[in-house]
Amino acid sequence: QVQLVESGGGLVQPGGSLRLSCAASGSIFSTYVMGWYRQAPGKQRELVAKISSGGARTTYADSVKGRFTISRDNAKNTVYLQMNNLKPADTAVYYCNAGTSVPMYWGQGTQVTVSS
C-alpha cells in the first residue's frame, strides 16, 4: 500500500551538508510515524531520527543530535533529513521508513559517503 523512494545521497567532504528526501505514495501518509535509519557495511541498521505523524515530536540518535534535522511536509507526502557537519562515521546507506508503533514499510535506500 505504501511505497517509499529516497533521494539526495551522494559524496561530500567532512563538514559538508546533504538533504535527503523520501517521497511516499498513497493518501494516508499523514497517519504514519516516519523515520530515517542507516546501515554501514558490516554493521546493523540503526535509527537516526523519527518524526510523529503531525510533525510536532522528533527523536534523534545521540550521534546525530544537533547536526541532523528531520522534518515532513504532509501536503507533499515527503519526509526530509537535513544533515549538517557530516562526519566520516555518517557514511552509510540511509533508509526511509514508515510505520505506527513499529516500522512497516521501507525504501530502497540512498548512499551517503563522507570522505576527503
Predicted local distance difference test score (pLDDT) of residue 55: 94
Predicted local distance difference test score (pLDDT) of residue 103: 84
Predicted local distance difference test score (pLDDT) of residue 1: 74
Q: 79-94 burial string, b = 16+ CB within 10 Å, else e?
A: bbbebeebeeebbbbb
Predicted local distance difference test score (pLDDT) of residue 101: 81
Predicted local distance difference test score (pLDDT) of residue 30: 87
The H or E element spanning position 48 is strand 46-51
Predicted local distance difference test score (pLDDT) of residue 45: 96
- Judged by DSSP in three states, 90 sits in helix
Average pLDDT by stretches of 10, the chain with 116 residues: 93 98 85 96 96 96 98 94 98 96 92 97
Predicted local distance difference test score (pLDDT) of residue 57: 97
CB 97 within 8 A of CB 36: yes
Please state whether beta strands 110-114 and 10-12 pair in parallel, antiparallel, or not at all (unpaired). Answer: parallel
